[in-house]
Structure 1
Amino acid sequence: MSPRASSPLAAAVLAALAAPAFAQEAAPAPADAAQLDAVIVTGTRARDRTVLESTVPIDVLDADDLRRAGAVNGELGSALQALLPSFNFPRQSNSGGADHVRAAQLRGLAPDQVLVLVNGKRRHVTSLVSTGSKIGRGTTPVDFNAIPLNAIRRIEVLRDGAGAQYGADAVAGVINILLDDGAEGGEWEASFGAHHTDVEPIGRTLTDGQTSYLAGKVGSGLGDGGFFRTGFELKNREATNRAGFDQVPPWDQSPANLAVQGQRNYHLGDGESKDLNAWINGELPVGAASELYFFGTWHQRDTEGANYFRYPDGEANWPEVYPRGFRPVSIGENLDLAGVGGLRGQWGEWDYDLSLNHGRNAFTYRLRDSINASLGPGSPTRFRTGDYEFAQTLANLDLSRVFGAHTLATGVELRAERYETRAGDPASYAAGPWTDRPTGSQAGGGLTPQDEADLDRDVASVYASLSSAFGERLTTDVAVRYEHYEDFGGELTGKLAARYEFAPAFALRGALSNNFRAPSLSQIGYESTSTGYSAAGQLVQGRLLSVNNPIARALGATELAPEKSVNASLGFTSRIGERFDLSLDVFQIEIDDRVALSESITGDALTDFIAGEFGVPGIESVSFFVNAADTRTRGAEVVANWRDRLGDGALLLTGTWSYAKTELTDIVATPAPLAALDPGYVLFGVEERNTLTGAAPRTRAQFSANWSDDRWNLLARVQRHGSAKRVFNFGGGYEPEQTYGAEWQLDAEAELRVSERWTVAIGGQNITDEYPDLSNEDIFYFGNLPYDVLSPIGSNGAYWYARVRYTF
């Protein structure tokens, strides 16, 4: 922590810690300060369990929590990172598709190893494969920022494996987003903010990233006891840039290139973003014991992403087009739709829920300020490089019945998935007459007709679960599920969880489960052709191949196998009176056959082999998906709350801490055909091993103090983001690395209720203007990229905002 941050941070922490000493001893604890008594609907079929009574760790967040934590850009993902002990949502830059769709982690695992539900129904994933990022590399995650923040009533986060309860992908846990179901009233909310920060690498104070947010929602009754709720969000974010002054790489130092030395030629930070969200949620009673329900979200986002600068004098440029060089800008057009309709009610002694769920994501990738150098000076400078689409349709029938202290549930699910990619503009991948120049649009060659994928599969599953209470001290949850994939066959998963209250206010809980995750359709069939810069800064033409591609097979690729995991956890919970509660959970997650991208295999031996055996010249880099390793993740999570009265208001102190360490227990061997080309080739080497084990912070901690009365709500939050490690392989045994140290972040907000309907707030995030460590000379790419994207604190600096809210 820098000296300038230590004083405010220390003052905030000391003030919050000292607050209970001034509490009024005789005053009752605030009834609405925590979510501990809320009846949960995630992780159990029992109908009266609360957070601390759960057999596994569950966090509950309400709309006010999310509003105060997600002020920056109105992002759900950013709000969850601020509030959850083991949720990681780093900001990406110069990371390909990850500049447009950010991936999240739970417990340090991959983004596709957490299952997201909306109103208890499975949410679809994005269609864009994240290949240029560090966090989430090789995955198609759920796009959290496509879910409107103002649509949410509360969120329940189950931090435990739950495949037997909810199906595949629930390895790290389940995030269940419950939508606003108010039958009357509504609200308007608007905010504006910007980053104001001292940027050390360039010695300047900048104000940028201006962000405006407008949202509204309204509800009304529907029929006899039903409701209809709808809302919208508009968001606009300007770009930020923390790039340094360009020193120009030694191999590019021609007179024309040195003429642009000392400029900020690169871009490091957030790109521009424009979002429009809309949503609905409703119920309509049917007869005396049934109801129709429906909900859906619609999201449109246009974003810009950063790419490496191309120098004036280089094979990627024609000076006639870009006399001072160029930096391509990627453009993402993201359309996301989800809709669910169903009928639920009572059928004799049974409760039933019959639903149909459809989700779709369509993404169009474009480039501007680019060029296909092989086409010569007449090349277009704007390209559509590809279209991506993922669709998911589910039909569910769930039945449940209470037998005394036991709740039995059973059901079936049919799921259909489809993944499709379409080629870009012919100019984006064409090989023109200038054969000494790289082919394809710079910063991402277009998908070719050979790259196109069109895959689908059906999945069927049946499950049963039993939630029981044996007296007042012992509760259990047992679940079993059989899931059959059209392409991977069947798998049986199960879970046993129990909680035992061994003394008043003290309990032990534990769980054991096995889980299953089939490779996604994109991991099976996605292919792409690219022209860009390697980690060492060299321009290369490369291909990401599916495991079914003949070239990949000749290099040793094999059919992907499903990931199989075993989760074990043991926890302790305590609630002393109405003021203090504590939970501590330790866990271990062993995963076999984790799916990941291979290293980028480069070199003359590869190029010559592909040209000689397959007649495809000029391919300098190849990668493909592989069952890369077996891993073991061990960790612990602590959540503690203290609630009391302070003056005329209610005080809530919350502390969280999480630790997760992933180790490789087995690594796939380099295939013999690949080793035969060059003994130095490694299929899964230091860079991709680092992606699984060291790129995400192992620890995160947070301490917050919230005080409120009839007029004021005051919030201070201190976060500690743990260290993260970056490793590169530049070839020839040159493998630079750097550990980025832990960083502290201070957020604060003051909200005033001006009248019964109006509230105003001012606040800041990272108000002490902290940054990650500066990258060393091996990694900062000649001064251009002084900060890495690994640290959750980001590289945007302090953000200040104001918000106004009107309720009716």
Structure 2
Amino acid sequence: MSPRLSASPLGLAIALALSPSLALAQDAAKQDATNLDTVIVTGTRASNRTVLESTSPVDVLTAEDIRKAGVVNGELGSALQALLPSFNFPRQSNSGGADHVRAAQLRGLSPDQVLVLVNGKRRHHSALVNTDSKIGKGTTPVDFNSIPVSAIKRIEVLRDGAGALYGSDAVAGVINVILDDGGDGGVVEASYGANHTDLKPIGRTLTDGQTGNITAKFGKTLGENGGFIRAGVEYKHHDGTNRAGFDQIPPWDQSPANLALQGKRNYVLGDSATRDTNLWFNGQLPFGQSSTFYAFGTYNKRNSEGANYFRYPDSDANWTQVYPNGYRPVSLGDNRDLQLVAGARGQWSDWTYDASVDHGQNDFTYGLRDSLNASLGPTSPTRFKTADYTYAQTVGNLDVTRAFEQAPGITHTLGLGGEVRHERYQTRPGDPSSYAAGPFTDRPTGSQAGGGLTPQDAARLSRDVASVYASLSSQFGDHFSTDLAARYEHSDDFGGELTGKLGLRYEFTPAFALRGALSNNFRAPSLAQIGYESTSTGYNAGGQLVQGRLLSVNNPIARGLGATDLKPEKSLNTSLGFTSRVGEHFDLSLDVFQIDIDDRIALSESITGDALTTFVQQNYGVNGLQSASFFVNAADTRTRGAELVSNWRQSLAGGQLLLTGTWAYAKTTLKNTLATPAALRGLNADYVLFGIEETNTLTDATPRTRASVSGTWSNDHWTLTSRVNRYGSATRVFNFGDGYIPRQTYSAKYQLDAEVEYRVNANWSVAVGGQNLGDTYSDRSNSDIYYFGNLPYDVLSPIGSNGAYYYGRVRYTF
């Protein structure tokens, strides 16, 4: 990690102890972002606030931070996890759609409770609903990996609620990605690497996950008044990894044909194979006396493959004429992601204006290969398209700001604005063979590992939102500053909501200042959470094959099981902290926070069993439904935490040294939990809508603590980088029924990353490095959880299960 702008005394102490393992921030590390005088644009309307002067904590990451931390797969999400103390980006496997679109968390909250901006403009969500993952279950997250790393100039992360400033979803905070705006010149960079690891569960040394990235960007100055065009392209390929163990064969599948596969690696546990192409541009052109037209855009095309449970040869889900040795379906993702923004900004008399139109869209086609619809018999296709998903949003806004002086030393910046937003969500059926109920009624229907969406599952929803807002950022002399904001937002499906924020900062001396903030925020249920439905045949947590449906809350079956209209989530955020700066060498910040959220939205527990099947058959004429779930306002929660960040800068051995340490803690507890409706308990006294597994998802599945120590040292030719991350413990809970509730806590783990780069001349540089050099894994899952030896590692630990990764890189600047 290089120049980050907040941290902890504990981290600093560790950093000093580890100073032989230095890190270097390259040339960009010498830019203003390495100090707390960096002017920020996120979280305030004032035009001259710096990181240190912000009323809420803001982290700033430079392009070099992100580029080097994201070297594995070229992933922005992985870079942010390495660099940010409160950011979690677990690697999913055997997790349905989450194998293709990974969900991120800020401050341990849900992935859809963080707002993402690009150049200050709202980023759209993914169209794919994560229904089979643990982290991010039931959400449509922003796909961070669709934003090209090479396009980024810096990222500002506001760790505080900001709904009054930016609208819904900004509950945990705001991540603002600012694109490269350089003029003449460009960069070409290529890297290649692979995982090389000792996989102890099978006693082998493996090399896999081969990854190649090539990026190119260039720029051109337009005119003499600040015009420019900047554009780039990226191509990335990443081979999958596999950390599965030897199959012991589940006891209910131990026929002679199945036992012949005992001791083999029939499963896959690891990264998806991906192929990405990214295009981007950013530009502006002055016009008139004081105005500028601007436009920017990103496009991502990704093809990915995900893992699924193995189907044994002697199984109702198989025909040996097709797969004599069984089969493991492979999920296929075809992801197309686009954002285009155009606008104008300039001066109207004493006012500064910014008017823009922002369109973002994600199209995702989900498919399967090496699968089977067993009910169709031996002639079933083995490749299916199971669904098409689309989410689109179009945003128009107008912001005007004016700075004025009330008296000597007392200045204000007034901001006013309005915004309209149209959202659209649509799902379309898969191939008829992916959901057909064939003539073999003793076999499961639909393509294995995710039956196709049926015509009755298809959804088409839209929403219109309008808001007006005002803010006032004030400076009262040299010591006291405030931020005030209010917004009224009205949607055509949930009515109006008023949010506000107050932020205060008082500087006692240049070396010490207090800051605090109070805000209320809200998040409306996503269109997917309201209307998404799916029908599937797959394996439950206990490993048994079941046919199930995820129902919308408007479905008559869901209503009969206790579903009600979803309500918006509402939060109250409070924070208090201090910042300290001693000379030019040392700075530190500490912030404590509490986030109370009412009516958090989650997927219900899966309702299973004969009582469900009989109830649905008798009342709705639907046969064979073995599992049902739907979205609910599950609970009120309270998240309490603290975040520390510190930096030390020093000239050393003819170069510059920067040490950074961070520590973050966040704990979520339930205040109130949704009661199970009487109608559902009447079917079976053991049924619950929100129980053990989903409680675990909200409270214990995410590590509560993170710590990081990094250092950077460089001179004219050499750059040395290293970083030690500590990922805290996480807990997995399953409810297999009949009182069988296995639980395991995975202990904290440390990860060491390092890189050496040599700048040959002003144009060329070469680098070698590695991530997770200690080849560290999370704890192995116990025998209750590791699914009969096949899945020895859980996906919860942020350290993942890939082991050590080594790479080389060459860079040409012109």
TM-score normalised to the size of structure 2? Answer: 0.96
Match of 1:621 among 627, 638, 661: 627
Kindly provide the CA deviation profile for residues 189-226 of structure 1, in whole angstroms up to 9, marking residues without a partner as x.
00000000000100000000000000000000123420
Change in 2 beyond 3 A, CA 1:646/1:97: same
Distance 2:517 2:346 in 1: 31
Which residue number in structure 1 is paired with residue 276 of structure 2?
275
Alignment of 1:62-73 (within 5 A): 62-73=62-73
Say which SS state the counterpart of residue 777 (structure 2) adopts.
coil
Distance 1:21 1:674 in 2: 59
**Deviation, structure 1 residue 794:** 0.3
Say which SS state the counterpart of residue 558 (structure 1) adopts.
coil
Distance 1:14 1:569 in 2: 26
Distance 1:95 1:670 in 2: 27
Say which SS state the counterpart of residue 767 (structure 1) adopts.
coil
Which residue number in structure 2 is paired with residue 26 of structure 1?
none
* Contact 1:636–1:660 (Cα < 8 Å) also in 2: yes
**Deviation, structure 1 residue 595:** 0.4
**Deviation, structure 1 residue 15:** 8.2
- Match status 1:480 vs 2:490: no
- Match status 1:496 vs 2:502: yes
RMSD between superposed Cα atoms in Å: 1.4
**Deviation, structure 1 residue 30:** 7.1
Distance 1:522 1:630 in 2: 21
Alignment of 1:749-788 (within 5 A): 749-788=755-794
**Deviation, structure 1 residue 20:** 10
Alignment of 1:385-424 (within 5 A): 385-404=386-405, 405-424=411-430
Distance 2:190 2:30 in 1: 29
Distance 2:310 2:37 in 1: 54
State the one-letter code of the partner of 1:623. S
Alignment of 1:698-717 (within 5 A): 698-717=704-723
Kindly provide the CA deviation profile for residues 430-471 of structure 1, in whole angstroms up to 9, marking residues without a partner as x.
000100100000000000000000000100000000000001
State the one-letter code of the partner of 1:497. G
Kindly provide the CA deviation profile for residues 112-148 of structure 1, in whole angstroms up to 9, marking residues without a partner as x.
0000000000000000000010000000000000000
Match of 1:532 among 534, 538, 544: 538
Distance 1:668 1:329 in 2: 36
Change in 2 beyond 3 A, CA 1:18/1:274: closer
State the one-letter code of the partner of 2:522. F
Which residue number in structure 1 is paired with residue 157 of structure 2?
157
Which residue number in structure 2 is paired with residue 661 of structure 1?
667
Which residue number in structure 2 is paired with residue 139 of structure 1?
139
Which residue number in structure 1 is paired with residue 233 of structure 2?
232
Change in 2 beyond 3 A, CA 1:134/1:20: closer
Distance 1:238 1:728 in 2: 31
Change in 2 beyond 3 A, CA 1:184/1:276: same
State the one-letter code of the partner of 1:218. F
**Deviation, structure 1 residue 486:** 0.6
**Deviation, structure 1 residue 755:** 1.0
Say which SS state the counterpart of residue 797 (structure 1) adopts.
coil
Which residue number in structure 2 is paired with residue 211 of structure 1?
211
**Deviation, structure 1 residue 97:** 0.1
Kindly provide the CA deviation profile for residues 75-124 of structure 1, in whole angstroms up to 9, marking residues without a partner as x.
00000000001000000000000000000000000000000000000000
Kindly provide the CA deviation profile for residues 665-686 of structure 1, in whole angstroms up to 9, marking residues without a partner as x.
0000001111110000011010
* Contact 1:30–1:645 (Cα < 8 Å) also in 2: no
Distance 1:502 1:320 in 2: 79
Kindly provide the CA deviation profile for residues 524-557 of structure 1, in whole angstroms up to 9, marking residues without a partner as x.
0000001000000000000000000000000010
Distance 2:305 2:741 in 1: 31
TM-score normalised to the size of structure 1? Answer: 0.97
Which residue number in structure 1 is paired with residue 408 of structure 2?
none
**Deviation, structure 1 residue 17:** 2.8
Alignment of 1:45-194 (within 5 A): 45-194=45-194
Distance 2:537 2:695 in 1: 24
Change in 2 beyond 3 A, CA 1:675/1:104: same
Which one scores higher on RCO, CA 8 angstroms, separation ≥ 6? 2
Which residue number in structure 2 is paired with residue 454 of structure 1?
460
Distance 1:223 1:482 in 2: 41
State the one-letter code of the partner of 1:158. L
Which residue number in structure 2 is paired with residue 746 of structure 1?
752
Which residue number in structure 2 is paired with residue 343 of structure 1?
344
Match of 2:802 among 796, 803, 808: 796
State the one-letter code of the partner of 2:207. T
* Contact 2:40–2:51 (Cα < 8 Å) also in 1: yes
Kindly provide the CA deviation profile for residues 342-382 of structure 1, in whole angstroms up to 9, marking residues without a partner as x.
01100011000110000000000000000000000010000
Alignment of 1:281-320 (within 5 A): 281-320=282-321
State the one-letter code of the partner of 2:385. R
Which residue number in structure 2 is paired with residue 697 of structure 1?
703
Which residue number in structure 1 is paired with residue 355 of structure 2?
354
Unaligned runs of 5+ in 2: 1-11, 23-28, 406-410
Which residue number in structure 2 is paired with residue 323 of structure 1?
324
State the one-letter code of the partner of 2:38. A
* Contact 1:231–1:278 (Cα < 8 Å) also in 2: yes
* Contact 2:14–2:709 (Cα < 8 Å) also in 1: no
Say which SS state the counterpart of residue 201 (structure 1) adopts.
coil
State the one-letter code of the partner of 1:321. V
* Contact 1:199–1:205 (Cα < 8 Å) also in 2: yes
Say which SS state the counterpart of residue 433 (structure 2) adopts.
helix
Distance 1:522 1:432 in 2: 30
- Match status 1:590 vs 2:614: no
* Contact 1:33–1:651 (Cα < 8 Å) also in 2: no
Say which SS state the counterpart of residue 516 (structure 1) adopts.
strand
Distance 1:135 1:749 in 2: 30
Which residue number in structure 2 is paired with residue 380 of structure 1?
381
Distance 1:223 1:781 in 2: 64
* Contact 1:33–1:650 (Cα < 8 Å) also in 2: no
Say which SS state the counterpart of residue 456 (structure 2) adopts.
helix
**Deviation, structure 1 residue 13:** 9.2
Distance 2:238 2:611 in 1: 46
Unaligned runs of 5+ in 1: 1-11, 23-28
Distance 1:428 1:302 in 2: 20
Kindly provide the CA deviation profile for residues 716-751 of structure 1, in whole angstroms up to 9, marking residues without a partner as x.
100000000000000111110100000000000011
Say which SS state the counterpart of residue 409 (structure 1) adopts.
strand
Which residue number in structure 1 is paired with residue 679 of structure 2?
673
Runs of 4+ deviating beyond 2 Å: 12-22, 29-33
Change in 2 beyond 3 A, CA 1:659/1:14: closer
Distance 2:687 2:96 in 1: 25
State the one-letter code of the partner of 1:616. V
**Deviation, structure 1 residue 503:** 2.2
Say which SS state the counterpart of residue 638 (structure 2) adopts.
strand
* Contact 2:429–2:455 (Cα < 8 Å) also in 1: yes
